[in-house]
């Protein structure tokens, strides 16, 4: 009798799809832990640097102005998630150094970063860093 071995890639993709479909989730990013490059991403997120660049481009190029996305932010390009990934990767690496200085035998399991607009849930792993961006609903 043969047993089915679960395909890790399908399981991974299913987990990302499930997280992306949750209410309030605006973006998910999977980052290579070593290089900081984006492996997979979904959704949209615009950093303030991207908004400033889009405004500058729009004012310089009136034929192709920046447009607002569904969040009332200027929509630029898919590189916005790349920029978010780079920022988060630097944050995780700095936090790993902090933890290492405090206790060299300890490691990060989960980071939650909440701002007025969003909450980032960051799950670092040996190979990957999973980032889920939640929009904070007005209460």
Model confidence over 20-65: pLDDT tens digits? 888 899 999 999 999 999 999 998 888 776 555 555 555 554 444 4
Answer for the pair 78, 27: CB distance below 8 angstroms, yes or no: no
**CATH class for the region spanning 8-46+78-135:** alpha beta
Name the pTM for this structure. 0.72
Q: Which residue spans within the chain are E strands per DSSP?
A: 25-32, 38-43, 67-68, 74-75, 111-114, 118-124, 128-135
User: Which pairs count as long-range contacts for 99-108, CB under 8 Å and 24+ apart, including other chains?
Assistant: none
């Amino acid at each position: 009798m043969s047993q089915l071995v679960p395909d890790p890639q399908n399981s991974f993709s299913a987990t990302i799809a499930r997280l992306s479909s949750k209410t309030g989730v605006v973006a998910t990013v999977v980052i290579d832990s070593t290089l900081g490059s984006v492996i997979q991403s979904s959704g949209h997120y615009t950093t303030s640097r991207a908004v400033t660049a889009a405004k500058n481009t729009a004012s310089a190029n009136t034929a192709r102005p920046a447009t607002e996305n569904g969040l009332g932010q200027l929509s630029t390009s898919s590189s916005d998630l790349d920029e978010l990934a780079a920022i988060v990767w630097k944050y995780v690496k700095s936090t790993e150094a902090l933890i290492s200085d405090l206790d060299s035998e300890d490691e990060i399991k989960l980071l939650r970063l909440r701002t007025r607009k969003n909450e980032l849930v960051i799950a670092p792993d040996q190979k990957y860093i999973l980032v889920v961006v939640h929009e904070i609903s007005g209460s």
